[in-house]
């Protein structure tokens, strides 16, 4: 029956039922590390909160439901969730990944897991032939991120899944930028969908949390073994906050998309703006793929002012008053960022510019405020 819930109901009811103790409609914050046993092993399914906690379990069921998957796992952060996926692998195994990956993911792969003997290949995934060419007998996993940050490239999940299925490789998709409101990677053949729930799922910039959702029982068993053995689990309060955030995901996303479109179109028509990166434009190189796999185009976009350099871009960002200059994205409030000196500062300038992250690029996470106020703010900041 769960499986049949439509998305806008799954966000509220997926895997949830009133608490058996007192009928609490929201799952209580079970702020406990351990559980009373009547005799060794005699317990109600909970022994120790690293392994299981009722609030976290409620969240994990919700996560599975909104991604149209069977099993959800919650972690202390998005990167902790990725860390668990990488621990499925053995030294000598190889991973193929998107070349314009989230900076923290790139750091985890290259600075941590390369040291444990994993090998990573970073390729432009819009060209499926390049992905196939990078596969060898040691390849075990393909890691996709779509849309990408901050260039808003869109990768065809079904096309990559056709390759992984044929070769018996694992396909993981970082679905943070889209959220399951816009796309459900498991439906396109992915094996693992990962989220930084810190962003759209939590949605209020008040929690750091990560998640994985899978369909395969064996994969679930291996990942939950790692989750318990490595221990990067979220606490009950953070699980509760994320669960509360998810309940309004569909209404927030609808407004993020509306506002994102209005801001993208405003900027594209502005004489002082040279380029706007947003997958909803017909001129976006991956627009057809975006249309095929996404329900709408989201509230993330990047732009370049005409003739701007590093200093001019910073000045516009500093002039903004309703858009807050900050890291992160996906909250109800609008944020602006400067990728070259913030999220992508650790990537050498030449490397950065190869993927389009020039010094004049500005990234916006368009929130759910009144869009007229957002546009007015941009108008005065651009001048
Ligand atoms: C933020 C982010 C992450 C990392 O998640 P944390 O919750 O910050 O650990 C991974 N991928 C993407 C696309 C992100 O935006």
Q: What does the alpha-carbon distance between residue 22 and residue 231 come to, in Å, rounded to a whole number?
A: 30
Domain that includes residue 346, residue range:
249-382
The residue from 220, 246, 272 where one domain ends is 246
Give ligand 1 pocket residues (Cβ under 6 A): 77-79, 102, 104-105, 145, 149, 174, 176-177, 196, 198-199, 208, 210
Identify the residue whose C-alpha is closest to ligand 1 atom 1. 196
Q: Which atom of ligand 1 is nearest to the CA of 329?
A: 15
CATH, residue 377: 3.90.1150.10
pLDDT tens for each residue of 62-111 = 999 999 999 999 999 999 999 999 999 999 999 999 988 888 999 999 99
- Mark whether 120 and 69 lie in a shared domain: yes
Q: Which atom of ligand 1 is nearest to the CA of 79?
A: 9
Average pLDDT, the chain: 96
The residue from 211, 246, 281 where one domain ends is 246
- Mark whether 307 and 351 lie in a shared domain: yes
pTM over 0.95: yes
- Mark whether 176 and 266 lie in a shared domain: no
- Mark whether 168 and 61 lie in a shared domain: yes
- Mark whether 258 and 240 lie in a shared domain: no
- Mutation to probe ligand 1, out of 81, 151, 172, 176 (largest number of atoms < 8 A from CB): 176
- Mark whether 183 and 276 lie in a shared domain: no
pLDDT of 354 above 90: no
pLDDT tens for each residue of 255-304 = 999 999 999 999 999 999 999 999 999 999 999 999 999 999 999 999 99
Give domain status of residue 119, yes or no.
yes
Task: Tell me if residue 171 falls in helix, strand or coil.
Answer: strand
The residue from 204, 221, 246 where one domain ends is 246
Q: Distance of CA 41 to CAs 46, 221, 251, Å?
A: 10, 20, 44
pLDDT recorded at residue 221: 98
**Residues whose CB falls within 8 Å of the CB of residue 328, separated by 6 or more in sequence, listed in order:** 198, 199, 205, 335, 365
* CA atoms within a 13 Å half-sphere pointing along the CA-CB vector of 299: 29
Distance 209 CA to ligand 1 centre (A): 9
| Tally of structural domains, the chain | 2
- Mark whether 189 and 294 lie in a shared domain: no
CATH, residue 50: 3.40.640.10
Count of beta carbons in the 10 Å neighbourhood of residue 238: 24
Select from 227, 229, 179 the least CA-distant residue to 81.
227
Give domain status of residue 2, yes or no.
no
- Mark whether 22 and 114 lie in a shared domain: yes
Give domain status of residue 31, yes or no.
yes
- Mark whether 81 and 149 lie in a shared domain: yes
pLDDT recorded at residue 3: 54
- Mutation to probe ligand 1, out of 84, 101, 198 (largest number of atoms < 8 A from CB): 198
Range 30-40 average pLDDT: 96
Q: Which two tokens stand for residue 281?
A: 């434009």
- Mark whether 186 and 266 lie in a shared domain: no
Active-site positions read: 50, 102, 174, 199
Give domain status of residue 1, yes or no.
no
pLDDT tens for each residue of 315-342 = 999 999 999 999 999 999 999 999 999 9
- Mark whether 190 and 288 lie in a shared domain: no
Q: Which atom of ligand 1 is nearest to the CA of 210?
A: 7
Select from 299, 293, 302 the least CA-distant residue to 261.
299
């Amino acid at each position: 029956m769960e499986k049949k819930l439509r998305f806008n109901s799954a966000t509220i009811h997926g895997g949830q039922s009133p608490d058996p103790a007192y009928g609490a409609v929201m799952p209580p914050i079970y702020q406990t590390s351990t559980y009373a046993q009547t005799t060794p092993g005699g317990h109600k399914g909970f022994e120790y909160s690293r392994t299981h906690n009722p609030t976290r379990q409620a969240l994990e069921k919700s996560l599975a439901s909104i991604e149209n998957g069977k099993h959800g796992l919650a972690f202390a952060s998005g990167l902790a969730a990725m860390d668990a996926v990488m621990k499925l692998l053995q030294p000598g195994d190889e991973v193929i990944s998107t070349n314009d990956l989230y900076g923290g993911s790139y750091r985890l792969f290259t600075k941590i897991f390369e040291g444990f003997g994993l090998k990573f290949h970073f390729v432009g995934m819009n060209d499926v032939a390049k992905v196939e060419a990078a596969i060898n007998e040691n390849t075990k996993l393909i890691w996709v991120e779509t849309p990408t940050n901050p260039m808003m490239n869109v990768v065809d999940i079904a096309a990559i899944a056709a390759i992984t299925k044929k070769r018996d490789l694992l396909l993981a998709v970082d679905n943070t930028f889209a959220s399951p409101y816009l796309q459900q990677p498991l439906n396109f053949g992915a094996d693992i969908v990962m989220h930084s729930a810190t962003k759209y799922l939590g949605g209020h910039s008040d929690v750091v949390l990560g998640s994985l959702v899978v369909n395969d029982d064996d994969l679930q068993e291996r990942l939950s073994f790692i989750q318990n053995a490595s221990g990067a689990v979220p606490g009950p309060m953070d699980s509760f906050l994320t669960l509360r955030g998810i309940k309004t995901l569909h209404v927030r996303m609808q407004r993020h998309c509306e506002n994102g479109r209005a801001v993208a179109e405003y900027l594209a028509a502005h004489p002082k703006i040279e380029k706007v990166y947003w997958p909803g434009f017909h001129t976006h190189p991956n627009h057809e793929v975006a249309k095929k796999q996404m329900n709408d185009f989201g509230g993330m976009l990047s732009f370049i002012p005409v003739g701007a350099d590093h200093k001019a871009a910073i000045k516009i960002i500093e002039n903004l008053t309703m858009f807050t200059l900050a890291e992160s994205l996906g909250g109800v409030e609008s944020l602006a960022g400067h990728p070259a000196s913030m999220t992508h500062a650790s990537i050498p300038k030449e490397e950065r510019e190869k993927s389009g992250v020039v010094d004049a690029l500005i990234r916006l996470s368009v929130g759910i405020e009144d869009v007229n106020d957002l546009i007015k703010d941009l108008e005065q900041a651009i001048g």
